[in-house]
Chains A and B, each alone.
Chain A
């Protein structure tokens, strides 16, 4: 995209994207840090993640304000309109991801110290593909690359499968040792949260795709693994 004649418009759109990417960066570390906290039972890190969500919310509010002002003052059209619309949606998705990460961190604080390392590991293992999804979709957003976005969108199947196997693993732990049921329930919610984060990433991918091409990716076209929890 070449620059607008009114350079301030370009500047504002650039700032919007930069803020969203900054927000995405924070959210990404929140996922990793929250899951690392689960793994190492590090309550301090978990607390820090919870605190960072506030920052995310602040950025979200700021971005939304920018978007409203942009719509009111610049009357964006075509690609610009899609960019602003996508930004609005993406910022919401990121905020949700932030919330889910915060939720994981909160549950970490309540987790029994004696929960086995193998159980914790399961969550930690799932964190990296999820955060990779987010990382990739943010890259796609930064470059406006539709095919990358589509790759992320299609990659959600892996996350779902990952979740399914983790779900079965947790069930196995809980059946084996009923004392782990409390922790296991928390773990299941964490896994579910990670799975939801993956879904949000696919949503972001849809908006990135829409921004770049003006076309919608329909969820019905996506290869889907049936959720075990319905």
Chain B
């Protein structure tokens, strides 16, 4: 496992070569020529971005650069905005998930999402995790569900903190714990991809560090795409970084390379704080 991972990272360093024999190295999600329109206004211009599996891809860029919009394409969250129109192909497991025939509800169980502000349901900790498996009928029995809840909480690194108070309301947790609960909730429906929209922007540095550690841990099982305002965070958690500006994808590459030797002038200006 570890060897294939490092290999896959080295592969992705070279711009993600398709390698059918390796099995894991081809992109988990391949976005091709994505355009997004809000009404008449175009928010995203022809973005093609392959997202490798079992690694963290960070999307960075100034506010309003379209990184969140792009992220929301990946689980069709943009469908909930009436005026929003997405064109282009997003290939996942050989299917175009941007196809109108694709059921967004089904898709969202495969592509989990964690939001900017921790948004647990106003229910108990247990119910928060159990909700997804319940509506998707993933658990055959009560014991099954209990096990799923425990597993998800363990993976989110929250089990030891909450195992004695699963029935207390989720709102009683701290902000960082709530966000990890949201991650656990996303994991519970067994997604393949986890999207994170600035998951630490409302958290203090220690809670942020915990989430980052968790992301690093989750990377071993999931394909993670994270939008972040903090370049430092992108540098810390991601293996690949894509820099967005004004709705365009300026540069993408190995995180090390983007932060030590960006190829594009605009990327350099942004990450060194010389923008504008």
Given contacts A72-B259, A73-B255, A73-B259, contact A5 B206 (CB under 8 A): yes
Main secondary structure of the interface of A (DSSP, over half): helix
Neighbouring B residues of A69 by C-beta, 8 Å: 256, 260
Per-position binary interface string of chain B over residues 199-242, scored 1 when its CB falls under 8 Å from any chain A CB and 0 otherwise: 00000001001101100100000000000000010011000000
Docked-complex contact B209 and A4, CB < 8 angstroms: yes
Of B206, B210, B212, the most chain A CB neighbours within 10 A belong to B212
Docked-complex contact B216 and A75, CB < 8 angstroms: no
Per-position binary interface string of chain B over residues 119-148, scored 1 when its CB falls under 8 Å from any chain A CB and 0 otherwise: 000000000000000000000000000000
Docked-complex contact B216 and A6, CB < 8 angstroms: yes
Main secondary structure of the interface of B (DSSP, over half): helix
Neighbouring A residues of B212 by C-beta, 8 Å: 5-6
Is A61 close to B, CB under 8 A?
no
Given contacts A6-B216, A8-B216, contact A72 B256 (CB under 8 A): yes
Q: What is the interface residue range for chain A against chain B?
A: 10 to 19
Is A68 close to B, CB under 8 A?
yes
Docked-complex contact B213 and A5, CB < 8 angstroms: yes
Nearest B residue to A5, CB-CB: B209
CB distance from B126 to the nearest CB of A (A): 26
Bound CA–CA A69/B241 (angstroms): 14
Given contacts A6-B236, A8-B216, contact A72 B260 (CB under 8 A): yes
Which of A6, A68, A74 is in CB contact (< 8 Å) with B260?
A68
CB distance from B251 to the nearest CB of A (A): 15
Bound CA–CA A5/B213 (angstroms): 6
Bound CA–CA A58/B209 (angstroms): 33
Given contacts A69-B256, A69-B260, A73-B259, contact A7 B235 (CB under 8 A): no
Bound CA–CA A69/B254 (angstroms): 11
- The A165-192 residues at the B interface (CB cut-off 8 A) are none
Neighbouring A residues of B209 by C-beta, 8 Å: 4-6
CB distance from A64 to the nearest CB of B (A): 11
Nearest A residue to B206, CB-CB: A5
CB distance from A70 to the nearest CB of B (A): 10
Which of A6, A68, A75 is in CB contact (< 8 Å) with B213?
A6
Of A4, A5, A8, A68, the most chain B CB neighbours within 10 A belong to A5
Neighbouring A residues of B206 by C-beta, 8 Å: 5
Nearest B residue to A4, CB-CB: B209
Nearest B residue to A8, CB-CB: B216
Bound CA–CA A74/B236 (angstroms): 5
Docked-complex contact B232 and A75, CB < 8 angstroms: yes
Nearest A residue to B259, CB-CB: A72
Q: Footprint of A on B, CB under 8 Å?
A: 206, 209-210, 212-213, 216, 232, 235-236, 255-256, 259-260
29 A–B pairs (Cβ distance < 8 Å), ordered by A: A5-B206, A5-B209, A5-B210, A5-B212, A5-B213, A6-B209, A6-B212, A6-B216, A6-B236, A7-B213, A7-B216, A8-B213, A8-B216, A9-B236, A68-B260, A69-B256, A69-B260, A72-B235, A72-B256, A72-B259, A73-B235, A73-B236, A73-B255, A73-B256, A73-B259, A74-B236, A75-B232, A75-B235, A75-B236
6 A-B pairs with the lowest CB-CB distances in the bound complex, closest first: A5-B209, A72-B259, A73-B235, A6-B213, A69-B256, A72-B260
Q: Footprint of B on A, CB under 8 Å?
A: 4-9, 68-69, 72-75
- What would 9 more interface pairs be, CB under 8 Å, given A9-B236, A72-B260? A4-B209, A6-B209, A6-B212, A6-B236, A7-B213, A68-B260, A69-B256, A72-B256, A73-B259
